[in-house]
Amino acid sequence: MNIHVTPEDTSIAEAIARFCEQEIAPAAAAIDEQERSACCHLKPLAEVGIMGMNLPEAYGGAGISAVALYLVVEHQAAACASTASMVTAHFLATDSILYGGTPEQQAQWLPGAASGNSLGCFALTEPNAGSNPAGMLCVANKTSQGYHLCGTKHFISNAAQADFLIVYAKTDINAGHRGISAFIVDSNTPGLNISAAERTMGLKGGHVYEVALDCHIPESSLLGGVEGKGFRTAMKVLDNGRIEIAASCTGIAQAAYRAAQGWANDRQVNHHAIAQFQGLQWMMADMTTDLEAARMFGLRAATKRQGGEKYSLDSAMAKLYASEAAARITDKALQIHGGYGYTRELPLERYVRDVRIMRIYEGSSEIQRNIIGSAVLRNT
């Protein structure tokens, strides 16, 4: 199929690339080293419109194409993967309202989120319900004044910094995934308790938290005003999120690839650039092929998304291939740098650490294979 990258898409991407190189990339190493929240970049990101780039202009967003959004996320991740993870987690929250909310909820929450005046988080995963949301234990019991939310969410990005949370919970514990609803929860709600940030291997500035809920919330918090729509909303949002994960993967991989390319041309052994050695050339050939293929998967999914076609299968393939390919690319890039790549003086080891989570969250590689395998076998 055709992949549509317009001149406008390219212009937007180039502008964001320049911004990220100047404003985001210089702080990436310190954010990682100090485990400082990437929310320190929230103001400059908001000023260039990045926090609302997934939203239509009607709600204060940029109204850009899905292809342009892919490229924007890719450039963010190339500069600082922690920053990209913070932004894309915010996108999951605002996409939830965009796809599942009432017009009143959209008008209330989305303009502030698009402007960067409020930050969102997406609270779906639980300690015992990660890849299987239907097994969640968090419940929302109807009361005379609204709902009582009770349960625990885990590995929730942005939770401590967020102004609002999109919390998925069961309103009917006997209905499986059809009993899941979603709620907009203000971060100041009594009974909302957030842990210290988890100590993670990578994305050390993209903080994740455990969220304990024992909250009474008004009926107006029910996303969409109808119970039982949460699972469908979450799956739609995650289709988008998987394309954004693919973009993050190709962004990190691109940064590693460029570093390896420069090192291979500059590094001398016995008065010869190591780029002249066949073994290294083969490594670069594999990296080039992986990177281009991963980007094509992602852009194809984004093209289908913006064209209004079904893209669940494409987003699963994009996320699977890009996350696996990025692991290979970053590992080879570190290998090309030799012992220097293993030190923390260079960003190669950070790229390897940051990309590792991509094969786990928003649906592990194994879950993506289940989605893909089931889909293709149904069509035979």
* pLDDT tens readout for residues 156-169: 999 999 999 999 99
Region 111-124 average pLDDT:
98
pLDDT value, residue 351:
98
CATH superfamily to which 7-115 belongs: Acyl-CoA dehydrogenase/oxidase, N-terminal domain (1.10.540.10)
pLDDT value, residue 370:
95
Region 281-287 average pLDDT:
98
| Residue 93: DSSP 8-state | H
Top-tier CATH class for 232-378: mainly alpha
**pLDDT band of 4, cuts 50, 70, 90:** confident
**pLDDT band of 377, cuts 50, 70, 90:** very high
Over the stretch 236-266, which tens digit does the pLDDT of each residue have? 999 999 999 999 999 999 999 999 999 999 9
How is domain 120-230 classified at the CATH fold level? Butyryl-CoA Dehydrogenase, subunit A; domain 2 (2.40.110)
339 Cβ contact list (under 8 Å, min separation 6): none
pLDDT value, residue 1:
62
Tell me: pLDDT of 141 over 90: yes
**pLDDT band of 233, cuts 50, 70, 90:** very high
Measured in whole angstroms, the distance separating CA 239 from the mean position of its chain's CA atoms is 11
Q: Of 62, 54, 81, which Cα lies nearest the Cα of 11? A: 62
**pLDDT band of 2, cuts 50, 70, 90:** confident
Compute the mean pLDDT over every residue in the chain, rounded to the nearest whole number. Answer: 96
**pLDDT band of 330, cuts 50, 70, 90:** very high
| Residue 12: DSSP 8-state | H
Measured in whole angstroms, the distance separating CA 39 from the mean position of its chain's CA atoms is 15
pLDDT value, residue 380:
62
Question: What is the domain partition of the chain in residue ranges?
Answer: 7-115, 120-230, 232-378
Q: Of 125, 124, 141, 15, which Cα lies nearest the Cα of 68? A: 15
Q: Contact 60/115 with Cβ under 8 angstroms?
A: yes
Rounded to whole angstroms, the Cα distance separating 64 from 86 reads 20
Catalytic residues: 362
pLDDT value, residue 186:
98
Measured in whole angstroms, the distance separating CA 6 from the mean position of its chain's CA atoms is 24
Tell me: pLDDT of 131 over 80: no
